[in-house]
Amino acid sequence: MSSDAANLVDACKPVMDGHRLQHLLGRGFLLSQAIEHWQTRAIWVVSRADADYPRRLKARLREDAPAVIYGCGNITLLDSGGLAVVGSRHVDDALVEQTMAVGNLAARAGRTIVSGGARGIDQAAIRGAWEAGGRVIGVLADSLERTAMKREHRNPMLDGQLALISPYDRNAGFNVGNAMQRNKLIYALADAALVMSCDLKKGGTWAGATEQLDKYRMIPVYVRSTDESLPGMDALLQKGAVPWPNPQDVDEFGAVNESPSPFVTASKKSLPSAPWQADPPDSDTTTINQALNPAAALFSVVREIILDLLKNPMNADEIAAALDVNKNQAQAWVKRLVEEDRVQKSGKPLRYVARQPGLFPGHLRQNNL
């Protein structure tokens, strides 16, 4: 939208039709109206190219991380971790009270509650956390703007205790497919998850929990401990979930096997020992990513080395030679960096170069276009 737009359009031709991009840039007035509308409602928007985009989503979901996130409230909560509490919409009063108690205890232990914001279990966990002055992340599948404008959300947002986000347009209506797709964001933003209720092989709770257990395996998944056999909960246990130990106070809650944030350093004693995890390295301190995901730990090192190499443009053969790896491996690593918007393609023959911070798009907020 600036005086050098023509050069930018030309540079983008390998990934986007130039005529289409010029047409979109011509809609600048409509974009400014949209931004003004968002700002009056304190709605912010971040893309994967923005520094404030949640690191957890990028690191854990990679190409499945949404390109754009709409949000309202304290964006820094999105990398704070916490306990995801999920379950059915239709539950009895006893289970609602039990869920509220979990949210209340988590808040008193200083842990954020991550929830989908739906009625039933989700809202019970949120109410329990707020009664104890706790923090909440709500990952919505629809109606972000309307939800953010509700009176009961005003004070928590002003106090920095609430963040509402959605990967969908802020006025999007409810859609079953969207609700299913946002489940992975709930798990990716948490350190551990607790399933309070679940039907067997149907519903969003089942889909989200099984996707976590079968595909992503990012965090421990607990299921509510019950005296009776429940088909949905039993099936999750068979897939690798573990029974919730029913902590009764803050100290017991802190001892629960919750994975600390993969973006902080923790002592070996604080690391979880869930069934799918290997023993952590024998060192006094280690990053959680190294303990939970050796591949992620390796790539975090490789990323910095490649970005340093690509301060000057290089082709795939030159990158492979510099790293002393085969060309296919070098291309696989560079491809990930391109998807992360950390590296861009340049010229013919094809070469790669690290993006400079100044080239990243800014936030659509506070008159920063």
CATH of the domain at 166: 3.40.50.450
Do 35 and 77 lie in a common domain? no
Q: Residue 291's pLDDT is what?
A: 41
Q: Say if residue 31 is in the same domain as residue 80.
A: no
Domain housing 151:
73-258
CB 142 within 8 A of CB 168: yes
Output the pLDDT for position 205: 94
Q: Averaged in consecutive runs of 10 residues, what is the pLDDT profile of the chain (369 residues)?
A: 74 86 78 71 87 91 92 92 93 93 94 92 94 94 89 88 92 86 94 94 93 92 88 93 91 67 35 36 39 65 88 88 86 89 86 68 37
What is the Cα–Cα distance from 76 to 349, expressed in whole angstroms?
41
Number of domains in the chain: 3
Q: Rounded CA gap, 346 and 11, in Å?
A: 8
CA–CA dist 220, 210 (Å, integer)? 12
Q: Whole-angstrom Cα distance, residue 78 to residue 112?
A: 10
CB 323 within 8 A of CB 305: yes
Three-state SS at 278: coil
Asked whether residue 27 falls in the same domain as residue 136, the answer is no
**Pairing assessment for the beta strands 265-267 and 192-195 based on DSSP bridges:** unpaired
How many CA atoms lie within 13 Å of 29's alpha carbon, on the beta-carbon side?
0
Q: Which of 237, 258, 279 is where one domain is finished?
A: 258
pTM value is 0.65
> Does some domain include residue 150?
yes
- Do 235 and 302 belong to one domain? no
Tell me what pLDDT residue 304 has: 86
- Is the backbone of residue 57 left (phi > 0), alpha (psi -120 to 50) or beta? alpha
Q: pLDDT by residue (tens digit) across 181-211?
A: 999 999 999 999 999 999 999 999 999 999 9
- What angle do the packed helices 316-323 and 327-339 form, to 10 degrees? 110
Question: The dihedral of CA 212, 217, 222, 223: what is its sign?
Answer: positive
CB 128 within 8 A of CB 36: no
Domain shared by 219 and 155, yes or no: yes
